[in-house]
Amino acid sequence: MRLSFMIYFTILCSVSASNQRYKKCMKKLGVSSWKVVDRASNATSYNLLNYQWNNVFDVVFPIAIFIPSSVFDVQATVKCGYDAHIQLVPNSGGHSYAGLSSGTNDSIIVDFRYMNSIDIDDDDESVTVGPGAMVGQINAKLWKKGGWGTVLGNCMTIGIGGHALGGGFGIYSTLYGLVIDNILEIKMVDAQGNAVAVNPTRNSDLWWAMRGVGPGYIGLVTSFKLKMFKAKDLKLTYIKVTYKNEDFKHVVENFVKWLDWVKRNNESVSTIISATSDNHSSGFEFAGRGVEVHLLHIQDPKIQPASSNAVLAAYKKYFTHSSQTTVQKASYIDVLVGTSYSPKFRAKDLDDVQKVYAKIPVKSIVWLTSEQGAIAIPRSSDCAYVHRDNLFNIKTKWDPKGYFNSEQSVPTFSSEWDDLDDFFEQ
């Protein structure tokens, strides 16, 4: 018992010494002391900043939480973290499914919430965003400032930092590609504390690695420059086909054939299957009860002047004998607000899948998403993202306590969200 106490006491002393060394270094470089928050100096702020919505993992208590507001601040924390031998963990929104943004008890969190600028360049058709900008904030500002859009996921409260660096799949990806395919330039602080620009012609090794490597492994991003498209000019057709639970195997069989047709005909169609139990009650709006096939035909007159409506006739051949089918024209806002990796999938597997699906809990969802079109065009060797040209992905979500739909998983709205409030009202 005494030996265990001695080891624990030694570890605490070591962590405390590292923290003091780090704070002393930051002060020497001229960084405001309030930006470094630890439990000893400000327990209340520390607990608020360290809130972890992902209860799949045990709560982590990092050494400190650093809140930068400038590139200089980020450079300072890298230099001082290196000097104090402390791991730095970036946090843009804190929504990592794998808990990567929570760090460890021996790390310092770099919380980018104040580096959330969104600067639109209409002439260049690009937007430059800070790593702490949230998807909803970016979408709202782009729409209000000229009906623009960019490729992003559909969860409004995640930060762009980790979302972009991990690949970034969105409902418009079949036409425009992943988020990493729409990055024009990354500005970052490398492991030596240097502020560098990264693009196809500058620091090409970092350009390859940063697109797909995930957050925090090579450096800390201070801004992304992303391509934009004219969202208000898109022609969108939304189709929902509903089935009973016992039809799941039939749906997936035809789903595979449908994706093959889409690939052969080069159609820009986003296809998602949501499957829940008959008594599904998670409160997740996108998924109803039973099996639903969601198709979104995306037509951009600027890059597809000859796009046809062949998909409207074709889908009926694959998704037959449904309980209900709805077809409607949709606006960009309607779609945006409303809405295990397997490279080989054989027909004989479907019997087992049907058996598993029949047993899914009441508060769970199975998603099958297609990753085709522009997502599959780049080669897997073009950047660090290696999951190209897969027929479809299978995702499952088990949420017995409603973490994904509770207040704790959504950041508190503030005055910064005024644009988003207006966006939803439209």
Q: In this predicted structure, what is the pLDDT of residue 103?
A: 85
| pLDDT at site 4 | 46
Secondary structure (3-state) at 155: coil
Is the confidence at residue 426, as pLDDT, over 60? no
Q: Specify the pLDDT at position 80.
A: 97
**What average pLDDT does the segment 16-20 reach?**
87
Residue among 297, 300, 283 nearest 370 (CA): 297
What lies within 8 Å, CB to CB, of 136 at 6+ separation is 156, 157, 417, 420, 423
Comparison of pLDDT for 331 and 286, the residue scoring more: 331
Bigger pLDDT: 73 or 104? 73
Kindly state the tokens that stand for 63: 């050494």
Helices (H), strands (E): how many in the chain?
12, 17
Assign 358 a pLDDT band (cuts: 50, 70, 90).
low
* Span 158-172, average pLDDT: 90
Q: What's the pLDDT at 145? A: 93
- Taking the alpha carbons at both ends of the chain, their separation in whole angstroms is 64
Mean pLDDT value of segment 240-264 = 90
Q: What is the pLDDT of residue 399?
A: 52
For 305, the 3-state DSSP assignment is: coil
Comparing CA positions, the residue from 420, 412, 409, 425 lying closest to residue 54 is 409
Report pLDDT digits (tens) over 2-15.
544 444 444 445 56
Tokens matching residue 243:
């089935």
Say what angle helices 2-28 and 71-84 make with each other, to 10 degrees. 140
Residues 6+ apart with CB under 8 A from 339: 154, 171, 286, 294
Residue 417 or residue 251, greater confidence:
251
Bridge partners of residue 119, in order along the sequence: 128
E strand intervals along 231-370: 235-243, 269-275, 291-299, 324-330, 364-370
Domains and CATH numbers, the chain: 2-111 (3.30.465.10), 118-230 (3.30.465.10), 233-405 (3.40.462.20)
The percentage of the chain sitting over the pLDDT mark of 70, rounded to a whole number, equals 75
Q: Inform me whether the pLDDT recorded for 375 exceeds 80.
A: no
Mean pLDDT of 78-101: 89
Per residue in 24-81, pLDDT tens? 999 999 999 999 999 998 999 999 899 887 777 788 999 999 999 999 999 999 999 9
Looking at per-residue pLDDT, the higher value among 358 and 79 belongs to: 79
* Per-residue pLDDT, 420: 52
pLDDT at 307 over 90: no
Q: What local confidence, expressed as pLDDT, does residue 120 receive?
A: 98
Kindly tell me if the per-residue pLDDT of 261 is higher than 90.
Answer: yes
Q: Which has the minimum average pLDDT: 47-56, 107-116, 118-127, 275-284?
A: 275-284
Long-range contacts of residues 77-82, Cβ cutoff 8 Å, at least 24 apart: 77/26, 77/31, 77/108, 77/110, 77/220, 78/189, 78/190, 78/191, 78/192, 78/193, 78/219, 78/220, 79/25, 79/29, 79/193, 80/22, 80/25, 80/26, 80/29, 81/22, 81/108, 82/191, 82/193
pLDDT over 90 at 226, yes or no: yes
Tokens of 5: 């106490």
CA separation for the pair 206, 199 (Å, rounded): 8
Q: Token pair of 341, please?
A: 């990796």
Q: What is the mean pLDDT of the chain?
A: 81
Give me the mean pLDDT over the 304-320 stretch: 88
Predicted confidence (pLDDT) per residue in 195-223, tens digit? 999 999 999 999 999 998 877 778 999 99
CA–CA distance, 404 with 283 (Å, rounded to integer): 10
pLDDT above 70 for 346: no
Q: What is the mean pLDDT of residues 348-365?
A: 62
